Amino acid sequence: MGMKKLSFFMGLLMLALFPVLSRQDGFDQWVALQESKTSVATSTLDAKLSTAEASRLGNGVDPYTIFGAEDGMYKSISECISNIPNDNTRRHMFNLKPGTVFREKVFVGKDKPFVTLKSDPSNPAVIVWNDTAMTKGKDGKLLTSRGSSTVTIESDYFIAYGIIIKNDALPAKAGDKQVQATALHVTGTKAIFYNCTIEGGQGALYDHQGLHYFKASTIKGSVDFIFGSARSLYEDCSIISTNKDITNMEVAQEGWASESRINSESGFSFKNCTIKGEGKPVFLGRASGNFSQVVYSSTEMDSEIVPIIWEKGNMKIPKSGIYYGEFKCYGPGLDASKKAGWALSLTEAQAKPFTCKSFISGGSWITPLPPADP
């Protein structure tokens, strides 16, 4: 595809194949980069966001409404998004009717910043579709993992609150190819997901690029189900692997490429999370030939985390080049991972840059929870 697509499940971060370093030295070098970024973090809301929040607009979305756009009501999410002026400078908040199932694909383009999709966490609205990477688009070409996503966010300053984003394609079987069934694909920066559920199959969450904050959310999927090269903080989240059997599963992953420099803008941090596998270990993935790193702090690991690579469609455990750091984590999964040599223990000073919102410069763009109605 000619694009630098970096895959790693559960937040594994792509770093360069810099001159040969020891496993610990390579990780320490990346930690030092994060410390330098944290020291210059800002706590002032940026000007664009301040302007947008000061002039919020509110609308409702209900498939059965008898009212129209002139009354501030829409029947579909796609309809309300299309009615936002290009390059708008105001926060557009769309209240999705609680408990409603919206069976549609949602695309929020680059020219639609400051969008909020909001529902009731106790009775959330559901956005669902069932495309896979093997589904053919209108042009007759395969959608690939990018095109399979139920919700695609390319815009900046996006917020989701109290909604379920789901890809309900049938589960892949051993031997299937191009089985990605992505629920959410995010390429815009400064995106927030509060109290949401993101559920799909392989590649459920494509955390592609940008600064992202996931708070009190649930992410469910099968193999390699959180991947991308964003810089994201997952706080108080539940990470659940639904994979039942990956034996001999073949996966044709397109466009993997190695980095030639340290990707210091990327990084995944999991804080106060729970990691569970439904009867199986949790398998982490990375593109062959790259270093991958992630930090877990104060996180419960019920299942062993096993790093993997895909080589010629086959899953293999790498001999080197994959690290994750942990700080004050616990559970049988952590014990097993330490015995296998995957986990590197961090000191409090080393962990600090990853455990606060300054890791993603959050002081300049993370707004209060829940988003206030206009």
DSSP 275-306: EEESSSPEEEEE-TT-EEE-EEES-EESS-EE
Residue from 71, 87, 224, 373 carrying the catalytic annotation = 224
Phi, then psi, of 93 in degrees rounded to 5: -105, 125
pTM, 2 dp:
0.84
Cα(327)–Cα(299) distance, rounded to whole angstroms?
Answer: 8
What is the arrangement of strands in the sheet containing 211-215, beginning at the earlier edge strand? 73-74, 57-61, 92-96, 115-118, 159-161, 191-194, 211-215, 231-235, 267-271, 295-297, 324-327, 343-345
Q: What is the pLDDT of residue 224?
A: 72
Cα(210)–Cα(357) distance, rounded to whole angstroms?
Answer: 14
Q: What is the pLDDT of residue 252?
A: 28
Q: What is the pLDDT of residue 228?
A: 80
Q: What is the pLDDT of residue 366?
A: 94
Contact 264, 242 (CB under 8 A): no
Buried b (16+ CB within 10 A) or exposed e, 8-30: bbbbbbbbeeeeeeeeeebbeeb
Token representation of residue 47: 């000007």
Contact 105, 131 (CB under 8 A): yes
Of 3.30.420.10, 2.160.20.10, 3.30.565.10, 2.60.40.1930, the CATH number of 9-364 is: 2.160.20.10
Token representation of residue 330: 């616990």
Q: What is the pLDDT of residue 21?
A: 40
Contact 199, 226 (CB under 8 A): no
Closest CA to 10 of 293, 248, 247: 293
* Placement of tokens 């000061």 in the chain: 54
End-to-end CA distance of the chain: 43
Amino acid of residue 367? T
Q: What is the pLDDT of residue 248?
A: 33
Spell out the residues 6+ positions from residue 237 whose beta carbon is closer than 8 angstroms to its own. 214, 215, 216, 217, 218, 219, 270, 273, 274
Task: Give catalytic status of residue 87 as yes or no.
Answer: no
Domain boundaries, the chain: 9-364
Contact 100, 74 (CB under 8 A): no
Cα(76)–Cα(106) distance, rounded to whole angstroms?
Answer: 10
- Which portions of the chain are predicted below pLDDT 50? 1-23, 38-42, 247-263, 287-289
